[in-house]
Amino acid sequence: MMVMELERPAPIESNPLVARERPIRKPHLGEILIQVSACGVCHTDLHIVEGELPPHRLPLIPGHQIVGRVSATPESESDFKKGDLVGVPWLYSVCKKCDYCQRGQENLCDTASFTGYDVDGGYEEYVTVNREAVYRLPFGYADEELAPLLCGGVIGYRAYQAAGLRKGDTLGLFGFGSSAHLVLQMALHDDLRVYVVTRSPEHQKLAKKLGADFAGSIDDRLPHPLRAAVLFAPVGDLVVKALSQTEKGGRVIHAGIYSSPLPSMDYSLIYGERVITSITNSTRNDVKKLLEFAEKMHFHIQTETYSLSEANQVLRRLKQSRIRASAVLKS
């Protein structure tokens, strides 16, 4: 089978992912072999490939938004059958024993492992994974539409829940990629007012098309103060920008796994019981809840599809903000 393998981190312009042929690994007890049909491309993949996130293992096959069909599973395992439509997200495993896991905060587990970072991911034609990292996917979507749900959707869902908003509140989304265009739809479903801030004119048009009440650039004054803001762009300066337009008692939620440094700021920006918080990974329950939500409320998922061999080019386009919504590699 073909894989796109990272031997060592390097700028994406140097094409660090190398196409190789690898044998298909047969699943052991407790594992499932999946024939990958689609794998989403994420900013986290870019941070891993370029070394902004320190490598946990090398060589590595990235990719943590895996969609495919069960190809093989040991006979004694009956949870999944050959041909089942399944997905594998970012969170791969947790210890289940630490205080965080016991408190339902397994996303903070110190020994958690992650797909496409600690174990090989979905930039390959077949992947063998622990069955506990595998989820049944909702019907009614194309395979490439399902892939963004497994990271952008899940992280967006967790960030949206953390905002604690009610009908009629105003939500600001800073950055408008894979996560934000799904959160926008969640918010509209709950009758919120949504303002989108993005530097891309194309993303502004897409946000308006999907129903945003306002779409503009970081230099624009928002029409109304925000009850909450969710930041998807990995830019620390946006924290200050968002706080300056958030009302008292509001929340600024940074949903990135990586960010440039946060600048110094006046205390007045957080006075008034404004809160800054982050979103760190997700729990298995987040995945289940998001997939249940996606089955009840059909998301309109914007994707651009590419072949597996184009992984370097797609990550370059992502770095250059040239992906309109969600990029997906198809095997």
Q: What is the pLDDT of residues 257-309, one digit of tens each?
A: 889 999 999 999 999 999 999 999 999 999 999 999 999 989 999 899 999 99
- Is residue 77's pLDDT more than 80? no
pLDDT tens profile 140-192: 999 999 999 999 999 999 999 999 999 999 999 999 988 999 999 999 999 99
Question: How much is the mean pLDDT over the chain?
Answer: 95
Report the interhelical angle of 178-189 vs 152-163 (nearest 10°): 50
The 10 Å CB-count burial string (b at 16+, else e) for 133-170 is bbbebbeebebbbbbbbbbbbbbbbbbbebbebeeebb
> CA angle at residue 177 from 125 to 116, to 5 degrees?
35
3-state secondary structure of 319: helix
Separation of alpha carbons 135 and 123, rounded Å: 18
The 10 Å CB-count burial string (b at 16+, else e) for 93-121 is bbeeebebbeeeebbebeebbbbbbebbb
pLDDT for the residue numbered 331: 85
Per the model's pLDDT, the better-predicted residue between 7 and 331 turns out to be: 7
Decide: 226 and 242 in contact? Cβ < 8 Å. Answer: yes
- Is residue 75's pLDDT more than 80? no
Separation of alpha carbons 151 and 138, rounded Å: 15
Decide: 4 and 17 in contact? Cβ < 8 Å. Answer: yes
pLDDT for the residue numbered 31: 94
Chain CA centroid to CA 293, Å? 16
Question: Which domains does the chain carry?
Answer: 2-150+282-330 (3.90.180.10), 153-278 (3.40.50.720)
What are residue 286's phi and psi, to 5 degrees? -60, -45
Mean pLDDT, residues 247-255 taken together? 97
